Structures are given as C-alpha cells and as structure tokens.
Amino acid sequence: MNLLVSKPCLVINSYAKLNLQLAVLCRRPDGYHDLETVFERISLYDKIILKSLPNKKIKIICDYPRVPDNSSNLAYKSAKLLQDEFNLNKGVQIEIIKSIPVGSGMGGGSSNAAAVLTGLNTLWMLKLKQSQLAVFAKQLGSDVPFFIHNTAFGTGTGRGDQIAAIKALSKQRFWHILVVPRIKVSTPLIYKKWDELNNSVRETPRLTTPGYNVKILTSALKKKDLFLVNNTLFNNLEEAAIKLYPCINRVKKKLGELGVKAILMSGSGPSVFGIVSSRKEAVNLSVKLKKEQFWRIFIARTL
C-alpha cells in the first residue's frame, strides 16, 4: 500500500488480489467456510483519499454508483471500528476512485477497508502495529487481513484471514490478463452452491486438500513454466460458480483458444485471469478480447 501524505489529505493506492489456489475445506458452525488459499497482490488499484473532518462524521464519496455511500460500506465500517475502539472524536471523508471492478472476486471492497485502516492509523496518529491492524481487519471481512500484510504473495488459512507471506516468491513478478464478465455474482450464493455440491454440511475438514499445494505452486512459478503453473492453479469454488454463471466457463475457453496457458477464476468470481509471459502478450490479448462487449478487460502485474 502506497501512502502519500500531502496535508490535509492522505492518498492511498488500494490494490486488488487474485487467488492462485483456493481450497474450501468445510462449512463451519458459524456459516463461514474454512479454506486454504494463495493470494497474489496485483497492480490494479482504487485510489482512496482521506480528509480529516470534525466530530465523528464519516462521509463516503465514490464515483461508482454500485458502491454504497452509507454505513454498509466496508470503508465506512473500518473508520467506525477505529472510532469506537479508541473512543475518538475525529471524523473522516473517504473518497474512493474505483478501478477494481466491484463484486469481481478481486477483493476491491476488502482492499479499500484495509487501506482505510492503514490510512487512518496515520491520519489519526494511532500508532498501531501491523499485527493490531490485522485484528481489526479480521472483524471487517475474510479477505481484509491479506491487504494489511505488505506482501506480494501470501497464504490464507482459517476463513482466509490468517496470513503468512510466501517469502520464496517475494521477488517474483508476473503479467496477467484479467477478464471480468459484466454480471453480478453473490459470494454467499457461490458458497451455498459449494455446500450443495459437496453434500451440504461437511463440518469436519478434509485431512488432505486435493489440488492445494503451495510448494508445488511456488516451484512452478519460480521456473516460470506456465504449463506447470496451470497444473497447480486451483479453485474449488469454480465449479459452483460456473454452474450458476456459465459465462465464466466461456471466458476460460476463450482465453485457452487465444493460447493462454495458465487460467483460473479468482475468489468467488466472476473474474478470470490468465498468467502470461510478458506485458506485450497481455496487451495483444487485451486488443483481441476487447471485441467482447460483455466483458471488461484489464492488464495487471504482481505488485
């Protein structure tokens, strides 16, 4: 996360993520699912501009109509959480300039929440450590803690909220083509479908998770062998998502036809990414894919 303080406001880049592996283990008694996932932070970002306001006022401004400007916004909840926890009589205006597609499986809302926590730690001079911010992040959503950790690649366990950096990949950088079908996907619905497909209530975790292997993924990424990488990419929400939204499979097929070797849906979808060998390849693909008017196309690299 880049912080740029230019009084009296603070500008933060709020980056997106991809999931290179996502294994759902079981449904928990609290309704959430235990999972194992590998996150990658990418260069696609929203801009968050924080400005101090008097009293406890929290004001959200966003250029994108589907983002709520009220207390249901995760960015609002982040500010409220800190206000309440530290009994602060300080307010903030949170301006969100969106580039990360909303509800796409790339963690835009979660990243914005993390950016507000990090930014307010500076603006309100709270002096909280990363580990303390991570505790607040967990309360806001399963994906929020990853964005608090300053790492390009990390594993997430528990609800996806217990993060460990993958140090072996810290210097690795990859180019991606991102395709986001213009559909609205409900994350809870995807998990419900996963329950249905996996005999409803599996409330004990599997002992082994087929498909999830960070060591093999790490080794394939380090070799930059995209065929090998493709064999280790894994998301077992994909089947549920494709059953509900078949267009996700059309995107995967199209990328395959265009020669992309490593392809996967991110998070609960509907975004699909391809890992490609250069920026040039990503640009060439984006030119071809932009003919599809129901898909939004982006290029991003590891950050």
Q: Angle CA(58)–CA(59)–CA(64) in degrees, nearest 5?
A: 140
Strands 91-97 and 58-62: parallel
Catalytic residue among 46, 47, 90, 143: 143
How near is the Cβ of 109 to ligand C5P at its closest, in Å? 8
How near is the Cβ of 72 to ligand C5P at its closest, in Å? 12
Q: Which is nearer to ligand C5P, 26 or 297 (CB)?
A: 26
x/- letters, 21..40, toward ligand C5P (CB under 6 A): -----------xx-x-----
Axis-axis angle for helices 108-123, 130-140 (nearest 10): 140
Q: Which is nearer to ligand C5P, 110 or 121 (CB)?
A: 110
Strands (DSSP E) contained in 54-181 are: 58-62, 91-97, 153-157, 162-165, 175-181
x/- letters, 176..205, toward ligand C5P (CB under 6 A): -----------xx--x--------------
In this chain, which of 36, 40, 143, 238 binds ligand C5P, going by CB under 6 A?
A: 143
Per-position DSSP letters for 5-49, written without gaps between them: EETTEEEEEEEEEEEEEEEEEEE-TTS-EEEEEEEEEEEEEEEEE
Q: Which is nearer to ligand C5P, 1 or 24 (CB)?
A: 24
Alpha-helical segments (H) within 187-301? 187-197, 214-223, 226-232, 238-244, 247-257, 279-289
Q: What is the C-alpha separation between 105 and 32, in angstroms, rounded?
A: 17
Q: Looking only at residues 29 through 88 of this chain, which bind ligand C5P when binding is defined by CB under 6 A?
A: 32-33, 35
| Count, residues near ligand C5P per rule CB under 6 A | 11
Q: Angle CA(203)–CA(187)–CA(106) in degrees, nearest 5?
A: 120
How near is the Cβ of 197 to ligand C5P at its closest, in Å? 14
x/- letters, 151..180, toward ligand C5P (CB under 6 A): --------xx--------------------
CA distance readout (Å), 87 to 122, 239, 259: 17, 45, 55
CB-CB contact of 41 with 151 (8 Å): yes
CB-CB contact of 9 with 222 (8 Å): no
How near is the Cβ of 148 to ligand C5P at its closest, in Å? 14
How near is the Cβ of 95 to ligand C5P at its closest, in Å? 23
How near is the Cβ of 173 to ligand C5P at its closest, in Å? 27
Applying CB under 6 A, the span of 1-9, 12-20, 62-70, 135-143 interacting with ligand C5P comes to: 135-143
Q: Is 17 a residue of the active site?
A: yes
Question: What token pair was written down for 62?
Answer: 């966003």
Q: Which is nearer to ligand C5P, 103 or 274 (CB)?
A: 103
**Does 141 engage in binding with ligand C5P (CB under 6 A)?**
yes
CA distance readout (Å), 172 to 15, 42, 224, 293, 301: 17, 12, 9, 33, 10
Q: Which is nearer to ligand C5P, 184 or 253 (CB)?
A: 184
**Does 93 engage in binding with ligand C5P (CB under 6 A)?**
no
In this chain, which of 73, 142, 235, 236 binds ligand C5P, going by CB under 6 A?
A: 142
CA distance readout (Å), 288 to 178, 184, 228, 281: 13, 24, 25, 11
Which residues form the catalytic set? Answer: 17, 143
Residues lying near ligand C5P in the complex (CB under 6 A) are found at 32-33, 35, 141-143, 159-160, 187-188, 191
